A and B are shown apart, each in its own frame.
Chain A
Amino acid sequence: MSEKRWADMAIKLPLDARPAIARGMRLQREPVQDAHVLLYPEGMVKLNRSAGAIMGRCDGVRTVVDMVADLERAYNQSGLTGDVLAFVAMAVGGHWLEARP
């Protein structure tokens, strides 16, 4: 997937959205691949560490703001809002995540 296509998929998303794994998809840890994977019919996306960390927090309860705070704490970083929001927006645009109000 080229960067351009990714950008095309991104949608506007408010910071108080509560993203959840899209219906019909499943996120799980795969020891053999040493990674989180996102599973859907006849397909799979292997996530890198950052994407896995973000997707793992998309439980439909936490807002994007909550997730950012949690990630910044867990990884001892700051200023992640832009990256997290951009990823979540793309993942919603690509139907990996559903944004619940």
Chain B
Amino acid sequence: MSATPVGHALGAPGAPPGGARATAQPARSVGPPLWLLLELTYRCPLHCVFCYNPTDFANTGPELATADWIRVLREARALGAVQLGLSGGEPLARDDLEEIVGEAHALGFYINLITSGIGMTERRIKALKGAGLDHIQLSFQDSTREMNDFLSSTRTFELKTKVAALIREHDYPMVLNVVLHRHNIDHVGEILAMAERMGAQYVELANTQYYGWAWLNREQLLPSRAQLERAETTTRSFRERVGDAMQIYFVVPDYFERRPKACMRGLGSVFLAVAPDGMALPCHAARMLPGLELPNVRDTSIGAIWYDSQAFNRFRGDAWMREPCRSCPEKVKDFGGCRCQAYLLTGDADNADPVCDLSPYHALVTEAVARAERAAGTSAGAAHAPTLTFRDHRVSIPVVTEGTEVHGEVAPSAP
């Protein structure tokens, strides 16, 4: 009797062991949508500069009703979906969150709430626990009130600290997520110390991924290589000091890599997101990809969306690939990287993710990093630079006219 688990992770950073043994699906054998993400609302009390939500979120249609979300849960679960993320926007902005969690739990989903903590109270955390919520991931923007509040354009630090205590009191593992970028990456030591004081068991230091508002602010957010290396060194020595008491996942920004991330293990492989207006997406950011006929759960079943829709079949297999991916032996590992990044940087979603140094467009990435190096030399007070665009409902509409043109090298605009 051999007891080797068969790895089948969904590709999250910080996956426990076994998770790395992902294998490529042959083009024709489509497995179930194992990982369902419901973006319950685009409403959010924060205005984070690195948010991946679409910059034109204010133009999307009305939010799905409770009954719609419940139907989505039932249909997806019947197909084999098992991992459920509830995010947004801020999912606590929906007052039917407890009802959605209750239904998901009854169906057998493992439920992870991805939240800023704003809106969490003693009453709600009790109700969510009672409804069967498995896990809470709390985001912080930085280690100090000043920077947290500046980067989220709110006054929320004290509130988040209280929510962290609530999470612990209700016997959830304390899981903190901090998105890193030029303005807070030098505070990694302080961020980890804050996490330790809060009794965090898991800390995800996730470098910004450049989509949505983060793409708009990329020139202000990308750290320098020296910053990144300092942060990694700090993280390593902190790890050595705390040992097993805290698991720290450091997600390197892919702009500094030479091979792309295996984004979603390939679109249409395991992941299905539903946006607040019911649009079904093969990745959170896919709304921007031209030529994708995005189905809506209001009029299409999850089965038809997953197996039959153009949007979910468009990037399955490798027939869509161009060179250098098509003949590359690594295509079974990284699936050509991220389609959204290929589109944002090269203007064509079928190209190789330019993070790959085999891509003819790789210079677009190295030039962005080089600009970040130059900026780092002059950015002592850059956290307060006026050119950061905070995610905001009012900003969202004017951004559309520029956002639709966004690809290649676009300078971020001020609000």
Contact = CB atoms under 8 A, between A and B. Distances in A.
Interface of A: 1, 5-6, 9, 23-24, 26, 28, 30, 32-33, 35, 37-48, 50-51, 54, 71, 75, 77, 80, 83-84, 86-87, 90, 93-96
Interface in B138-197: 171-173, 175
A43 B20 CA distance: 11
A1 B172 CA distance: 28
Contact of A43 (B4, B6, B12, B172): B12
B195 to A, nearest CB: 16
A86 B1 CA distance: 12
Nearest to A5: B17
Given A42-B35, A47-B5, A51-B3, A95 B247 contact: yes
A51 B4 contact: yes
B3 A84 contact: yes
B1 A39 contact: no
B397 interface: no
Interface in B1-54: 1-12, 15-21, 32, 34-35
Q: Which of A1, A43, A90 has the most CB of B within 10 A?
A: A43
Contacts of A90: 17
User: Binding site of B, secondary structure by majority: helix, strand, loop or mixed?
Assistant: loop
A48 B135 contact: no
Instruction: Find the residue from A32, A33, A80, A87 having the highest chain B CB count within 10 A.
Output: A32
Contact of B18 (A28, A41, A45, A54): A45
Given A44-B10, A84-B3, A26 B18 contact: no
Contacts of A1: 7, 17-21
A50 B12 CA distance: 25
B83 interface: yes
A96 B17 CA distance: 8
B108 interface: yes
> Which of A40, A83, A95: most chain B CB closer than 10 A?
A40
A41 B175 contact: yes
Given A35-B6, A41-B135, A96-B16, 16 more contacts: A1-B7, A23-B171, A24-B175, A26-B110, A28-B82, A38-B5, A39-B82, A43-B12, A43-B16, A47-B6, A48-B5, A71-B1, A75-B1, A83-B3, A86-B3, A94-B16
Contacts of A30: 80, 82
A37 to B, nearest CB: 7
B21 A41 contact: no
Nearest 6 interchain pairs by C-beta: A32-B80, A42-B12, A39-B110, A46-B8, A94-B17, A87-B3
Interface of B: 1-12, 15-21, 32, 34-35, 79-80, 82-83, 85, 108, 110, 112, 134-135, 137, 171-173, 175, 201, 247
Nearest to A30: B82
B18 A94 contact: yes
A87 B201 CA distance: 23
A57 to B, nearest CB: 12
24 contacts: A1-B18, A1-B21, A23-B173, A24-B135, A24-B175, A24-B201, A26-B134, A30-B80, A30-B82, A32-B32, A40-B135, A42-B15, A42-B83, A43-B15, A44-B83, A44-B110, A45-B18, A48-B2, A48-B4, A48-B6, A50-B3, A50-B4, A51-B3, A94-B17
B17 A37 contact: no
B262 to A, nearest CB: 14
Nearest to B79: A32
A96 B201 CA distance: 14
B100 to A, nearest CB: 17
Contact of B5 (A5, A43, A51, A75): A51
A44 B9 contact: yes
B30 to A, nearest CB: 13
Q: Name, among A6, A46, A83, A87, the residue most crowded by chain B CB atoms within 10 Å (CB to CB).
A: A46
Contacts of A23: 171, 173
Contacts of B108: 28
A87 to B, nearest CB: 4
B337 to A, nearest CB: 19
Given A37-B82, A41-B137, A46 B16 contact: no
Most chain A beta carbons < 10 A, residue from B82, B85, B110: B110
